[in-house]
Structure 1
């Protein structure tokens, strides 16, 4: 229906049943299934967000997510079909303010090195850039911006190229082995 991104994914995880380390390569598709105008914002329904492969154990389902595009910000929310949010984004009178929180803020453009947002409201204020999104580098014509969320148990890095979208994703758990690396193979942008 809409834009589609195909990723090459490499997964390394600990299999609890066999008590062994498993490595697997697979192809992952993220696609826009619906775009819903919502006042000055747009609600974009996406199937197969890269985070679906975190804690992969042999198979993964492509879930639905809501990306709320509001000016220079993109907010992310899981979206089950029966979720009230699915109904709310179609109601132009609903301001969706409870989605527009720092915690759900995925990207805050422009992505310039050192920019920080989305600190976990449950955590005390920190000065070390942990538990918040931090831009690691600014995008250039041949290099995507890297945006990292670092916690004690794990970290995630999204690579974002203007005009293309998410070009890579990495997740690594710092304890039990769970490593995921995704790189964009192809895209279909409309």
Structure 2
């Protein structure tokens, strides 16, 4: 398939811009022998007004006038909690935006609407709610929303290297741990240069991968804070996303010193 590049910046300028963005927000690994990292809780602060802002680069193949064009851009995407409801032991948050939307990026496509569902002490699930009505419907039924299919699992209730979650039952015994979420690595980091995040605090940052033959996703996740980096790469037609957390707001009451 032929491709035409429609980029306004030349290659050298794009490369320098990407390097500046990466260096500005990249976590700093804590030196060996330092005090152990605490594990943040809850896994994700589902509080009205909580906001995560991501910035990075995308490459995407889009159709224009019947032919494929490659676009490269510096993009910003905001994920924010719009409303939260409790149903017994279940928390449901209405969320606008998610960094995964930037895979196969299309200019002008609006942010999506999602529900993040969590039972107390349980895993987090992310499901689409295109018209934003599901959160309003459940109070009418007087029942808690059902826990979604494991394929919608966003983060398991606890993380350790080697653990897998999500995916179909048929792939859970794969020795390569593909076609399911797999906790591939963990490191202890400081996160400097991100407004709303305490740069002095040590944190566990997990790299969670979902690898398939067509492509792979890497989610860098810090318990108690959220996603700090999101990477998508397609192994065929060009579609690349690499965004990092550049700002955070906890929402609700003010928390001195950040999370």
Higher strand share: 1
Paired position in structure 1 for 2:151: 103
Contact 1:52 1:60 in 2 (8 A): no
Pair 1:161–1:54, CA change in 2 (3 A): same
Pair 1:156–1:26, CA change in 2 (3 A): same
1:7 Cα offset (Å): 0.7
Paired position in structure 2 for 1:74: 124
Within 5 Å, which residues of 2 pair with 1:23-38? 23-38=72-87
Within 5 Å, which residues of 2 pair with 1:30-179? 30-70=79-119, 71-81=121-131, 84=134, 87-88=137-138, 91-94=141-144, 96-97=146-147, 99=148, 101-121=149-169, 125-142=173-190, 144-179=205-240
Unaligned runs of 5+ in 1: none
State TM-score, norm by structure 1.
0.88
Q: Report the 3-state secondary structure (helix = DSSP H, G, I; strand = E; otherwise coil) of the residue aligned with 1:51.
A: helix
Higher helix share: 2
Select the residue among 6, 9, 22 that pairs with 2:71.
22
Q: Which structure has the larger Rg over C-alpha atoms?
A: 2
State TM-score, norm by structure 2.
0.66
Unaligned runs of 5+ in 2: 1-47, 191-203, 252-259
* Count of residues paired in the alignment: 188
Q: Per chain length, whose mean CA-contact separation is higher, i.e. which structure has more relative contact order (CA < 8 Å, sep 6+)?
A: 2
Worse-superposed segment, 61-70 or 80-89: 80-89
Over the residues paired in the alignment, what is the CA RMSD in angstroms? 2.2
